[in-house]
Structure 1
Amino acid sequence: MTTETEWMRLTAEELRARAAEDALVIVPVASLEQHGPHLATGVDIILAGGVAARTAARIAEAGAPVVVTPCVWTGLAEHHMEFGGTVTLDYESFAGVLRGIVKSAARHGFKRVMLLNGHGGNSEAVMVAAGEFSIEFGIRVAAGTYWHMVPEAIAPILERQAGLMHACEAETSLMLALRPDSVRTGRLAEAHGPMSTRVEGQPPALALRRSFRAISETGVIGDARVATAEKGERLLAAISARIAELLLNPKLWA
């Protein structure tokens, strides 16, 4: 019998029981935004939710209690607004939504929450929020962006990139595996752009947000032309296995 991990498919009584078992709550966090000429705007929602679901399944298979909330579908995407098709919040609104979700979980007795982020523009914000919520609610709240957490699981599978970028080889492969009807395969020949969002001489540790319109004519960072569904399945398996391993570490929650 498969263990149900979706919060919205469990009853209130069943969720109270999960809280009593010290279940981990995974909150997938995403964005609704442009993803080049070949991908629908819901990429981050689909991928954050997909990675969360696969990760939760592996945790449940290991015998540990876990639940996954519905995806937080909008975040901080000002840098994509010039392309259209994008919804963005300010930090206060975004943090307020996350605060309400985490506070609700804490009030129901859950003591461990993972904000599993799937959008680069949210990366710093979810980590700041997690630190604030840990103090505010007296529970363990972790946060991370899935490709930043497990780069070693991603790089060996890709041909033209060192890691996951934007509307790129990795994201397009994942979409071909999870939601191929949202990939415009006839536009893949156009789906490439610069290999970085940084200008020459700007190190990774120096942050300066720019509009993607100024960085990439196509809205793509990376090269999606070699994306395949087979790569996507391999990426999902590798990413979820490694994140599950990280989250099953009892020292993380001690």
Structure 2
Amino acid sequence: MDLRAATWTDVRDLETNLAVVPVGSTEQHGPHAPLGTDVLTAEAVADAALERTDREVVRAPAIPVGVAEEHRQFPGTMWVSPETFRRYVRESVESLAHHGFDRVVIVNGHGGNVDALREVGGRLTRSGEAYAVPFTWFEAVGDHGADMGHGGPLETSLLWHCAPDLVDEDGLEAASEGAADGWGEWTSGANLAYDSAEFSENGVVGDPTDGDERRGTELLELASDALGRLLEAVAERDVTRPEPR
């Protein structure tokens, strides 16, 4: 059930404790992909998984702004501090738990959110307020994951499948020519760069022209299947905390 389209009486009558919360970012994705790429892809994966499951699951509204200050040199990018983001996500999940939806999968589409979401999940779970598990879609697509960049072939492929009208074909060539090969500038195992503009002319990492709609279809199937399996595991898990040893 999509909370945005439900009435409170609809929600009152549900017989489930399972929810998903899509989380993304509003940030640059090069000259060819929209600022909302991370939200759009997280929502697409969440919705596809819910279509495949027989379980009743509450689908919360997406959280559209995340930890993204590393893209601040590119106009349109929005961000909040990690502290603000963690608190917002935590309190959003707590509000779901208040109504009985205390098993929550946070479906993430932005790499900058990963560490914060793991911390939020741990805090909620250890406190007993909710059992919360973060899921990042591009970490669940098998060998494709090696091609994950930023505005690169994976995200562009998924956009081709889910929102083709939002891919600017005229910007693809420029995106490809100005893209970095990898994320950051590394020496002795340390990343010298803090902002993406330090190593990518146009904010892109990876060649988006290596993506296409067919690959996007496969990515959505892989990610939504993986999320479906996770939803089953979260629904069935014994979440009693271990006793002190």
SS of the equivalent of 2:203 reads coil
- RMSD across aligned positions (CA): 2.0
Matching residue's letter, 1:152: G
SS of the equivalent of 1:33 reads coil
- For 1:119-138, what aligned pairs fall within 5 Å after superposition? 119-138=110-129
- Deviates most, 241-250 or 94-103: 241-250
SS of the equivalent of 2:158 reads helix
Distance (Å, rounded) in 2 between the aligned partners of 1:56 and 1:241: 10
Say yes or no: does 1:17 pair with 2:28. no
Say yes or no: does 1:194 pair with 2:180. yes
Q: Which runs of 5+ in 2 are unaligned?
A: 239-245
Say yes or no: does 1:83 pair with 2:74. yes
| Offset from partner CA, 1:10-52 (integer Å, 9 cap, x none) | 222222333x333x21000110000101111111111111111
In structure 2, the partner of 1:154 is 144
- For 1:213-252, what aligned pairs fall within 5 Å after superposition? 213-249=197-233
Distance (Å, rounded) in 1 between the aligned partners of 2:92 and 2:192: 29
Residue among 3, 7, 11 paired with 1:7: 3
Taking a change above 3 Å as real, the CA distance of residues 207 and 98 of structure 1, as seen in their structure-2 partners, is farther
In structure 2, the partner of 1:185 is 169
Deviation of the 1:250 alpha carbon: 5.6
Deviation of the 1:135 alpha carbon: 2.9
Q: Which runs of 5+ in 1 are unaligned?
A: 156-161
| Structure 1 runs of 4+ with >3 Å offset | 200-203, 206-209
In structure 1, the partner of 2:30 is 36
Distance (Å, rounded) in 2 between the aligned partners of 1:209 and 1:109: 43
SS of the equivalent of 1:27 reads strand
Deviation of the 1:196 alpha carbon: 1.9
SS of the equivalent of 2:72 reads helix
Asked if structure 1 preserves the Cα contact closer than 8 Å seen for 2:193 and 2:199, the reply is no
Say yes or no: does 1:171 pair with 2:162. no
SS of the equivalent of 1:249 reads helix
Deviation of the 1:96 alpha carbon: 2.1
| Offset from partner CA, 1:130-150 (integer Å, 9 cap, x none) | 1112233432111132212x1
| Offset from partner CA, 1:99-131 (integer Å, 9 cap, x none) | 221111111011201111111111100110111
In structure 2, the partner of 1:158 is none
Distance (Å, rounded) in 2 between the aligned partners of 1:77 and 1:47: 16
Deviation of the 1:252 alpha carbon: 6.5
Deviation of the 1:53 alpha carbon: 0.7
Taking a change above 3 Å as real, the CA distance of residues 51 and 16 of structure 1, as seen in their structure-2 partners, is same
Number of aligned positions between the proteins: 236
SS of the equivalent of 1:74 reads coil
Taking a change above 3 Å as real, the CA distance of residues 208 and 241 of structure 1, as seen in their structure-2 partners, is farther
Q: TM-score, normalised by structure 2?
A: 0.88
Deviation of the 1:242 alpha carbon: 1.8
Taking a change above 3 Å as real, the CA distance of residues 153 and 25 of structure 1, as seen in their structure-2 partners, is farther
SS of the equivalent of 2:225 reads helix
Distance (Å, rounded) in 2 between the aligned partners of 1:167 and 1:133: 32
Matching residue's letter, 2:214: E
